[in-house]
Chain A
Amino acid sequence: MKKELGSFVIGDSTKCTGCKACEMACFTVHNQGSNHVGKTVGTVTVPVVPRLFLTKFEYGCMPIQCKHCENAPCLNACTKGAISRIDNQVIVDPEKCIGCKDCMQACPFGAVTLLPYAKDGKVVAQIGSNETRVFASKCDLCKDVPGGPACVRACPHEALRLVDPEAEREEKNIKAAEALLLTKNWR
């Protein structure tokens, strides 16, 4: 049956060591084609722009990324129509983004950040200025990447997980129901 909800990746701070392998993997897969980024350091000619953000906090660290909200504040805030829902996922079109920051302010997770935009191995300049053009960078769930989200695959500690919310809810429902078998005689 067709999926109704967007999937998303979540991190686990109890496993994360802050190695940033996820950020590198994210940058690499999103720039392989458009910016010729290969497997070695020398091939990187553009700024490293990830779509998830390793975050250190008082008790540890974990990557934070987009939840692909179903009533997405970023999408609703974008007046340029640069953010839309494609196959249940919330996707930014960097070509349309004018860098107005409305989405950044709307997102309660800090999952969107304006970062330099590069094409064909070079950063792109703004029209009428020498300054670098930016775009709202956020997780697109590796929509065009075979094998699914690179961050999940790259993490050496299995600290990232792809969530299918509908399937997960059903699994938890079953556990909750079967727990009733234990409690039914001891209300």
Chain B
Amino acid sequence: MNYFVKGNPDLCIGCRTCMIGCVVVHEGKHIFEVDPDSYNFNPRLHMVKTAKISVPVQCKHCENPACMAACPVQAIYQEDHRVLINTDKCIGCKACATACPFGAIDIVSLAGTRQADGSERKVANKCDLCNNIAGGPACVRVCPTQALSLVTEEDLGGAMEKKRMEAARNAYMEIHPQNGG
């Protein structure tokens, strides 16, 4: 099963440290020394703030990814519990962004790359669960309120098992209240 990062709106304070953490980890530490106009600032998660909620939204790494199905050039694939985009293949057609029901994909320009007519080259951008980065998702690590967590197969499978046990126990107790503690 694919893993994903989930935000807890009860803990999130909307500060967006996660968004910067995401950029820094994907661009590398040299980002603090380079020409301020030369790097990409393309966070792979987006802070949502409404009257009711503040929480970052990012890719759920679906098991039947709609984005993957919509991609006309097979630039989206699954590997190692995650859904990934090959940005070299991506043509920026926005089909994946349209297909994604969470708005987890945006189309971003990559600094320094251009199209044939000189216009900016833009490609799909989304959470890769910090693929190949030691320590796991940066957003989870930098959040000052521990509002983000990585959900793994174990968490989800284990939780479901527990919920089923609970449901069964409750159903049994309804019929046999005398056995209750």
Contacts and interface: CB of A to CB of B under 8 A. Distances in A.
Interface string B46-57: 101010110101
A2 interface: no
A76 B116 contact: yes
A184 B102 contact: no
A111 to B, nearest CB: 10
A180 interface: yes
Nearest to A78: B116
B122 A70 contact: yes
B102 A173 contact: yes
Given A176-B57, A187-B155, A5 B94 contact: yes
Interface in B39-63: 46, 48, 50, 52-53, 55, 57
A68 to B, nearest CB: 8
A95 interface: no
B94 A67 contact: yes
Interface stretch (A52-60, A80-88, A119-127, A132-140): A80-88
A181 B68 CA distance: 27
Contacts of A174: 48, 50
B6 interface: yes
A165 B97 contact: yes
A172 B102 contact: yes
A159 interface: no
A69 B93 contact: yes
A6 B48 CA distance: 23
Interface in A25-84: 67-73, 75-78, 81, 83-84
A83 B159 CA distance: 54
Nearest to B49: A177
B6 A180 contact: yes
Interface in B83-112: 90-95, 97-98, 100-107, 109
Nearest to B123: A71
Contact of B94 (A69, A175, A181): A69
A85 B117 contact: yes
Nearest to A163: B98
A144 interface: no
Interface of B: 6-10, 46, 48, 50, 52-53, 55, 57, 72-73, 90-95, 97-98, 100-107, 109, 115-117, 119-123, 151, 155, 159, 163
